[in-house]
Structure 1
Amino acid sequence: MPERLDKLVSERFQLSRRVAREAVERGQVDVEGVRQLDPGFEVEPDAAVTFDPNRPRPGKVERRVNVLYEDRDVMIVDKPAGLLVQPTPARERDTLLERAGRYQIHKRGVKKPYVGIVHRIDQHTSGVVLLVTNPKAMRPFQDLFRARAVDREYLAVVEGVFLTIEGRIDLPLVDHAGDNRRGVSRVPGRGQSATTHFRVIESYGTVASLVGIRLETGRTHQIRIHMAALDHTVVGDPIYGRRKRPKFPIRFPRQALHAATLGFEHPITGETVRVDAPPPPDFAGLVEQLTRDHGATKAAPTVAVEPERP
């Protein structure tokens, strides 16, 4: 069973729980060769974990925000995996919210920055996030997301191969699926409606597939839950999927999920905005290793057939 990273570090390196937590937060702990800053990150008991007590804290360069698009109303940024969008009750200092505020102070010269959050992605998911920087724009962008007028596309590496190239998942989500996890409901009328569209990009033997995913709704953990419901768990996901499923042949220290595209018609300027974020090095490296080990087969493009005219 997975356990918290700070607990594993405490036990493995004979540290107190407090010291282990602080070591993780200082950036002195790697999981499978990747620095992990979240003490609550769940890892397998046999995961490769290293502790370097002499490593300095992450520097200012690592705490910068990568801005992909900005105007007077919004910033669209490329969030790195491992960074929270906003603090939890534990009051984390380094969050996307804090970085965006600091960016406005130093880059824009704003004395009292405003940062509004209209949507989120998981801490361990990378990719595009829109932040509102003008309080007058908050309601229009909330309405935009509420109306499902935002094009959100993700990339995911999932376990196994698909029988169909593309599909639509309409399974309501519930907070408790009977195993202390969120999940899908197959009982009519129960749960929040959730719709996910997927398209296979390529497959790697019978081991895994690279999938493009488009959200119609934006529920908490929707992609991860829907993929697991199809028995195609997102690689590296420590929460969803079958508990006793065979171990994936390649270790990956987070869910292999990347928010690749955000597109919309600007509710204030009327401009069409589309922003793309390339997959980060760890995600790209996973795809490269799968290709080396198992080969890559591109999915055949979907061809629309015109009906015969009488």
Structure 2
Amino acid sequence: MKVRLDKIVAERFQLSRRAAREAVERGQVDVGGVRRVDPAEEVGPDDELSFHPNRPRADLAERRLTVLYEDRDVLVIDKPPGLLVQPTELRERDTLLERAGRYQIHKRGVKKPYVGIVHRIDQLTSGVILLVTSPRALRPFQELFRTHTIERDYLAVVEGVFITPEGRIDIPLVDDAGDNRRGVSREPGVGIPATTHFRVIESYGTVASLVAVRLETGRTHQIRIHLAALEHTVVGDPVYGRRGRPKFPIRFHRQALHAASLGFIHPLSGQPIRVEAPVPKDFTTLTDQLKHDYGVVKVADQG
């Protein structure tokens, strides 16, 4: 069961709840080696925590946006892993929504910023996400995602190796697969249509593979559910992962999923736009360790 970060920090490091909350907000607490600044973030009881009481307060610059593309109507952002897109019922203060509003105030001089969310990526997923910054852009961009006329490419490190170097997963999804989790439909005609394309980039012994994934549809948790249905769970997935499976040999503090790029025709300007997010350090550290421990086979070398 997951608990608030400030609560578990207070328990583990013998701090008052207030002191624990302030330590997190000052950037003195790491989860899995990554600094966290939101006291309301939920973590698991087995997550690796470290407390650095002498660390200087986290600069607000660390909470700024990494903007990959912008115009008067949109912001395309490289979201770090661990950052929520918008607050939950716990009313978290540091979210992508809040950062985007603050960015418009300080960088654009907008007194009353507008931020519209047209799609989401999970809190523990890194990479490209698009926000609209004018009301006129909301419906046109919502339509892009609704009609799937936007290219959404991901990278994932998954367990095991594939028999085929590429393929298409075309399995409907349901909100409850019988275990109180979203999952694939087991009955004909039941579920929401969902299609995912994958291509293996490289494999690491028989332990794991790096795959490129393209969404044809964009359902909640689609990539994670589809890959798990093929017995290739995303490494570190806390929901669709390791129940009843042997422990993965390398500990990874989040799901190894990165939103690598977005490509679309701008519905207001008509210009073709393609934006890419660099692979984050924790992701490359994982693949480097897999290469070191198990060797690497490029897909072009297979066969």
- Give the 3 Å change call, closer, same or farther, for CA 163–203 of structure 1 in structure 2: same
SS in 1 for 2:293: helix
Question: Cα offset for 1:300?
Answer: 2.3
Q: Which residue of 2 aligns with 1:165?
A: 165
Report the AA paired with residue 99 of structure 1. Answer: R
Q: Which residue of 2 aligns with 1:120?
A: 120
TM-score normalised according to structure 2 size: 0.91
Summarize the alignment of residues 161-310 of structure 1 with structure 2, pairs less than 5 Å apart.
161-300=161-300
- Give the 3 Å change call, closer, same or farther, for CA 36–177 of structure 1 in structure 2: farther
2:116 pairs with 1:109:
no
Please give the alpha-carbon distance, in whole angstroms, between the structure 2 residues aligned to 1:182 and 1:142: 23
2:148 pairs with 1:148:
yes
- Cα displacement string for residues 231-278 of structure 1 (whole angstroms, at most 9, x for unaligned residues): 111111111134121111111111111000100011111100000111
Please give the alpha-carbon distance, in whole angstroms, between the structure 2 residues aligned to 1:158 and 1:208: 6
Q: Cα RMSD over matched residues?
A: 2.1
Q: Which residue of 2 aligns with 1:138?
A: 138
Question: Cα offset for 1:49?
Answer: 2.3
Q: Which moved more, 1:270-279 or 1:50-59?
A: 50-59
Q: Which moved more, 1:205-214 or 1:93-102?
A: 93-102
Report the AA paired with residue 210 of structure 1. Answer: L
Q: Which residue of 2 aligns with 1:33?
A: 33
- Give the 3 Å change call, closer, same or farther, for CA 196–16 of structure 1 in structure 2: farther
Q: Which moved more, 1:151-160 or 1:48-57?
A: 48-57
Please give the alpha-carbon distance, in whole angstroms, between the structure 2 residues aligned to 1:260 and 1:16: 40
Please give the alpha-carbon distance, in whole angstroms, between the structure 2 residues aligned to 1:187 and 1:22: 50
Report the AA paired with residue 192 of structure 2. Answer: Q
Report the AA paired with residue 264 of structure 1. Answer: F
SS in 2 for 1:300: helix
Please give the alpha-carbon distance, in whole angstroms, between the structure 2 residues aligned to 1:25 and 1:265: 40
State whether residues 77 and 129 of structure 1, in contact with CA within 8 Å, keep that contact through their aligned partners in structure 2: yes
SS in 1 for 2:300: coil
State whether residues 41 and 92 of structure 2, in contact with CA within 8 Å, keep that contact through their aligned partners in structure 1: no
- Cα displacement string for residues 212-237 of structure 1 (whole angstroms, at most 9, x for unaligned residues): 00001111111111111111111111
Summarize the alignment of residues 80-95 of structure 1 with structure 2, pairs less than 5 Å apart.
80-95=80-95
Please give the alpha-carbon distance, in whole angstroms, between the structure 2 residues aligned to 1:138 and 1:104: 17
- Give the 3 Å change call, closer, same or farther, for CA 243–19 of structure 1 in structure 2: farther
Question: Cα offset for 1:130?
Answer: 0.7
Gaps of 5+ in 2: none
Report the AA paired with residue 184 of structure 2. Answer: V
SS in 2 for 1:212: strand
Report the AA paired with residue 160 of structure 1. Answer: G
Q: Which moved more, 1:292-301 or 1:50-59?
A: 50-59
Q: Which residue of 2 aligns with 1:43?
A: 44
Q: Which residue of 2 aligns with 1:96?
A: 96
State whether residues 83 and 123 of structure 2, in contact with CA within 8 Å, keep that contact through their aligned partners in structure 1: yes
Please give the alpha-carbon distance, in whole angstroms, between the structure 2 residues aligned to 1:23 and 1:183: 38
TM-score normalised according to structure 1 size: 0.89
2:63 pairs with 1:63:
yes
- Give the 3 Å change call, closer, same or farther, for CA 4–247 of structure 1 in structure 2: farther
Instruction: Give % identity.
Output: 72
State whether residues 114 and 134 of structure 1, in contact with CA within 8 Å, keep that contact through their aligned partners in structure 2: yes
Q: Which residue of 2 aligns with 1:4?
A: 3
Report the AA paired with residue 4 of structure 1. Answer: V
State whether residues 150 and 263 of structure 1, in contact with CA within 8 Å, keep that contact through their aligned partners in structure 2: yes
Please give the alpha-carbon distance, in whole angstroms, between the structure 2 residues aligned to 1:133 and 1:97: 11
Report the AA paired with residue 43 of structure 1. Answer: G
Please give the alpha-carbon distance, in whole angstroms, between the structure 2 residues aligned to 1:10 and 1:3: 15
- Cα displacement string for residues 268-301 of structure 1 (whole angstroms, at most 9, x for unaligned residues): 1110000011111111111111111111111129
SS in 2 for 1:142: helix
Report the AA paired with residue 113 of structure 2. Answer: P
State whether residues 202 and 209 of structure 2, in contact with CA within 8 Å, keep that contact through their aligned partners in structure 1: yes
- Cα displacement string for residues 50-80 of structure 1 (whole angstroms, at most 9, x for unaligned residues): 2234445432111110111111211111111
Please give the alpha-carbon distance, in whole angstroms, between the structure 1 residues aligned to 2:284 and 2:221: 22
Please give the alpha-carbon distance, in whole angstroms, between the structure 1 residues aligned to 2:156 and 2:17: 34
SS in 1 for 2:72: coil
Q: Which moved more, 1:21-30 or 1:66-75?
A: 21-30
